[in-house]
Structure formats: C-alpha cells, structure tokens
Amino acid sequence: MIKTHNLSKIFTTEEVETTALHNINIHIQEGEFVSIMGPSGCGKSTLLNLIGLLDSPSGGEYYLLDEEVAGYTERRRAKLRKYNIGFIFQSFNLIDELTVFENAELPLLYQKISSAERKERVEEILDFLQIAHRRNHFPQQLSGGQQQRVAVARAIVGKPKIILADEPTGNLDSKNGEDVMNMLVDLNNSGTTIVMVTHSPSHADYGNRIINLFDGEVVTQSTNGGQAVADRSEVRL
C-alpha cells in the first residue's frame, strides 16, 4: 500500500541546507497499524507529511496504492489525498468558526457528496464517537478530548483507506489519550491502515510494527513486543 525507495527530503535556505530524511526505505502493507518513533527533530513528522502527500520529496521514489507519486504536482497529490487519506493532528486543527457538525462534514464537501448523504454519514460518525450531543457547538466550547473526537470524526467520515496520526494524544490527558488509541485500534480492526507518529512507547505498542528514526534515517524496526532489528536499507512491514 505504501512503499518508499531511497526517499529523501532536504530543506534549503539561502544560508543552510538541512537533510531531514535520508534514504528512507519502508513498505507498509494494507491493514497494518504502524507506529513511528524517534527523538524530536529526527524527521517523523516530515516523513508523515510525505506519506500523506502534503509535501513532495527531494529525491527517491514513493509508491502509494501502486502509483509512483513522488513527482506528482500539488493538484494531483490533492486529488489522490482527499479520496484515500485521513489526518489526525496533535493540535486538532479544527476551524473555530465551524460547528462540530460542519468540521466533521468538510471532507465530504471536498468529495462533492450530496447533502443528504453528508448529513447521514456525519451523524453516524458523531454518534459512533459519542460526540453527537455537541454537534452544534464550536471548538472553543469543547474539552481537549472532545475536540480530538471531532478531529477523528473528520478524518474517518470520508472512509479513507489510510489514517495518518501525528502525535494524536499529545495534547490530551491519559484517559482521553487511551480513548483515542482505542478508537484507532477499532478503525484498524475494521480494515483501515494506520500510520502514527508518537513519542509514547506505551502508545506505540498499540501498533503491529514500530519504526524508529534517528537523524532522518531508519535505524531499527520491530514487531509489537519483538526484538528490534537494525536496518538502514529497508523496513518491510
């Protein structure tokens, strides 16, 4: 489902060139739950942005759903992204001027789903995530845990094949954090592929596989509860 070959990302300014990712080789199969770990600044979020087609690589190859997409224009990336990928962010990224219902509905507007179907699907998702009673509230009127439930609703309402989660529990207390992790497990059990960036070893263990990054390179990979294996060439999941 997701495969990279020698993927790299270099950020360049007039004064300095910074290599964020170097020769990343990973293979994530459909239906996997993969956790990505590493210290701050190691390239975790950069890798997630490349996987999610929010940015383009500086070099290497990236295959998504058997398409080589590394050289796609932003327009082509956006089209592929909106029908296949849902995002969950640490900072929720909800739109303050929109209600809970309207925030969750956004992906369906981009997909040009009919009004009746949008209403049915959003209400179903909000009910599933136990946030329907807040459907007419605005983000500022919600707790952090409630805001993240809305963010999860927005991510899954379009029924994407892949969910990318960037520190989804980072701004939550332990109870709400565990609730979000259980939601991700439920989604994975229903067939959705999950790729999650996290600093938490306990939350990383919810995944089937763990990839560890250091200084922009894959240094180890391990199965859940298994022995880590050093690998700077390819991690096959």
pLDDT at 14: 84
Residue labelled with tokens 């990224």: 93
Percent of the chain clearing pLDDT 70 (strictly above): 95
Residue labelled with tokens 């989604």: 187
Residue 51 backbone class (left: φ over 0; alpha: ψ -120 to 50; beta: rest): alpha
Residue 189: other Cβ atoms inside 10 A? 10
pLDDT at 225: 55
Q: Model pTM?
A: 0.89
Structure confidence by residue, pLDDT tens digits, 6-37: 999 999 988 899 999 999 999 999 999 999 99
Structure confidence by residue, pLDDT tens digits, 148-172: 999 999 999 999 999 999 999 998 9
Structure confidence by residue, pLDDT tens digits, 130-140: 999 999 999 99
